[in-house]
Structure 1
Amino acid sequence: MSSAPRVSLIGAPTDVGAGVRGASMGPEALRVAQLQPALEAQGCDVIDRGNLSGPPNPWQPPVNGYRHLDEVVAWNQVVHEAVHAELQQGRLPLLLGGDHCLGIGSISAVARYCRETGKKLRVLWLDAHADFNTNTLTPTGNVHGMPVAVLCGHGPQALTHLGGHHPAIKPQMVRQIGIRSVDAGEKRLVHAENLEVFDMRYIDEMGMRHTMEMALALLDAQTHLHVSFDVDFLDAEVAPGVGTTVRGGPTYREAQLCMEMIADTGRLGSLDVVELNPALDVRNQTAEVAVDLIASLFGKSTLMRR
């Protein structure tokens, strides 16, 4: 990453993959919380590309284990093209979600870019959930519980082949951090695929510093680092404005350290910020916390020592 990252904000105002309405208002809440000025204060060159458009949320029950599959595909197609276009221009795409199903379009675009440029890919999945469900395992049919599985090749062809390559990524490219809510069948599939998961028990036992050292190990100059930040990664007391709060997540300080250690690598190449739900928030505090942590990803540091 150059000394001044060139960041493009891309809004994707939809909640088609979620079980609760409201994540569609996430992009605006992040803007209200002064995301662009916060990044500019870190020396970033920021362009706000505005919001992508896609089909409305029809709010229907699942069909064959998927809710709103056509709408999810449409949104992920526009996200894929938008993210890929920014990467091709040498810019850092910052996807403002929207629900986490959008990670399918975003990360498949990053993986496509890495294949085109001969780079290795590392994905940090910061989330309370493993998001490794399939249509046969899912209790809800909500696609925001499936994106990692889809990216690893489990799912409908319209999503698994989005970037023209199947699977978009291999499980060994992913490090999941903060996980504390996994369905039983989903857990078996995670184990079968050898996904590397640093769950909350691991973080409690080993600490966030060791966790991040492990998750960031072996990054080199040829590695593109993608961070997919689901705001429900944070403890619900810190971040109430999400549709799927799970108690016992990282504290504000732990999250801060996580973000600062990612920034220290200098390898951040793309970012998703998803599942912010202003309808469930308190005076936009979750958006403000998210903006603060995003600024830390771009170099805002609590470090005083040399």
Structure 2
Amino acid sequence: MTRLRQVSLIGAPTDIGAGARGASMGPEALRVAGLAAALQARGAQVEDRGNLQGPVNPWLPPQDGYRHLPEVVAWNTQVHTAVYAELQAGRMPILMGGDHCLAIGSISAVARHCRERGKKLRVLWLDAHADFNTNTLTPSGNVHGMPVACLCGFGPQALIELGGATPAISPKWVRQIGIRSVDEGERRFVHEQDLEVFDMRFIDEVGMRHAMELALATMDANTHLHVSFDVDFLDPSMAPGVGTTVPGGPTYREAHLCMEMISDSGLMASLDIVELNPALDERNKTALVAVDLIESLFGKSTLMRK
């Protein structure tokens, strides 16, 4: 992109919604992998706001179908406040997680900002999982499997009301890409709510290019594009550092094409990077791959055509 972007990095070091410990170390791994310098090299003006503070993970069993709900609410409230403040200041927030439950706070803040500014919101959910569970559908109670459902109004009151409007978003605003692991009850619920999903079978059949053309269709200059990038979107052969690996994800080139086409739209205005788990990684390999892909989101390309 040619215009100077004012970017704010926000660390949320928690694994409060996850089923494995270690995503709390994700923000530091991204810093070590050189995220700020990589964005500066792409022409962004970067401020690292440091890490948010929240409750420690008590590592308890679920209650009423939710694990750690009070702590999840506390972390997401912090994220909401921080992301909303950056948007109000005209900056692009990049949330460095932490697990994917944090997208409830992040996207509810983006939705609030869009309501106030009269902008259309589109969410691209890059993930191996649909994250559309509820407390009655979930096999685990881990809230990182519920953020899309919560944002669409299906969840505990404290989470679905976080951004001041319920639901925060409509399922029609979401495009999910790379999905390949969905619980049985969750699958039915996704179909009932008419969520638009470009799963790996679809990408195998038509290719990443066509899938992304469809996912990016009908956007215009008044669209705020939010990208929620779960690192387990990638195939575990190149991104082993996640708690929920699922084989059969996009290849290295498919992932870059996805990011390059998002960049070409010129509409991305906020970003989550979540579920990076350095405890399960190999010499920070996954963080380095993630930074590489985020450079493509910010305009890095090998395109040689004129």
Report whether the alignment pairs 1:200 with 2:200. Answer: yes
Q: What is the one-letter code of the residue matched to 1:80?
A: H
Rounded Cα–Cα distance in structure 2 between residues aligned with 1:275 and 1:44: 24
Partners of 1:74 and 1:235 in 2: CA distance: 32
Q: Distance in 1 between matches of 2:157 and 2:270?
A: 25
- Aligned-partner residue type, residue 272 of structure 1: D
Helix, strand or coil at the partner of 2:28: helix
Correspondences of 1:84-233 after superposition (within 5 Å) = 84-233=84-233
SS at match of 1:179: coil
SS at match of 1:39: helix
Whether the 8 Å CA contact 2:26–2:275 is kept in 1: the answer is: yes
Separation in 1, partners of 2:259, 2:9? 19
1:36-84 Cα offsets, whole Å, 9 max, x none, are: 0000000000000000000000000000000000000000000000000
Name 1:24's counterpart in structure 2.
24
1:4 aligns with 2:4: yes
Q: Is the 8 A contact 2:6 2:92 kept in 1?
A: yes
1-structure distance, mates of 2:17, 2:208: 30
What does residue 243 of structure 2 align with?
A: 243
Large movers: runs of 4+ above 3 Å: none
Distance 1:221 1:165 in 2: 24
Give 2:231's aligned amino acid.
Answer: V
Distance 1:178 1:170 in 2: 20
User: How far apart in 1 are the matches of 2:67 and 2:16?
Assistant: 8
* Matched length: 306
> Which residue in 2 is equivalent to 1:294?
294
Asked whether 1:41 is paired with 2:41, we answer: yes
Return the alpha-carbon distance in structure 2 between the equivalents of residues 112 and 99 of structure 1: 22
SS at structure 1 position matched to 2:56: coil
**3-state SS of the aligned residue for 2:207?**
helix
Distance 1:55 1:252 in 2: 36
RMSD: 0.7
Cα drift, residue 304 of structure 1: 1.4
Aligned residue for 1:272? 272
CA distance in 2, matches of 1:133, 1:207: 28
Letter in 2 for 1:212: M
Deviation at 1:2, TM superposition (A): 7.2
Q: TM-score, normalised on structure 2?
A: 0.99
Correspondence for 1:253? 253
Following superposition, the deviation at residue 151 of structure 1 comes to 0.2
Question: How many angstroms does 1:284 deviate by?
Answer: 0.2
Question: Which amino acid in 1 is paired with 2:275?
Answer: E
Q: In structure 2, the residue corresponding to 1:6 is in which secondary structure?
A: strand
Equivalents in 2 of 1:2, 1:108: separation in Å? 29
Q: Distance in 1 between matches of 2:139 and 2:3?
A: 45
- Give CA-to-partner distance per residue, 1:154-194, whole Å, 9 cap, x none: 00000000001000000000000000000000000000000
Contact between 2:2 and 2:43, CA under 8 Å: does it hold in 1? Answer: no
Where 2:15 maps in the other structure, the secondary structure is: coil
Contact 2:52 2:79 in 1 (8 A): yes
5+ residue gaps, structure 1, are none
- Secondary structure at the aligned position of 1:242 is classed as coil
**Letter paired with 1:69:** L
| Structure 1: distance between partners of 2:288 and 2:166 | 37
Deviation, 1:197, is 0.1
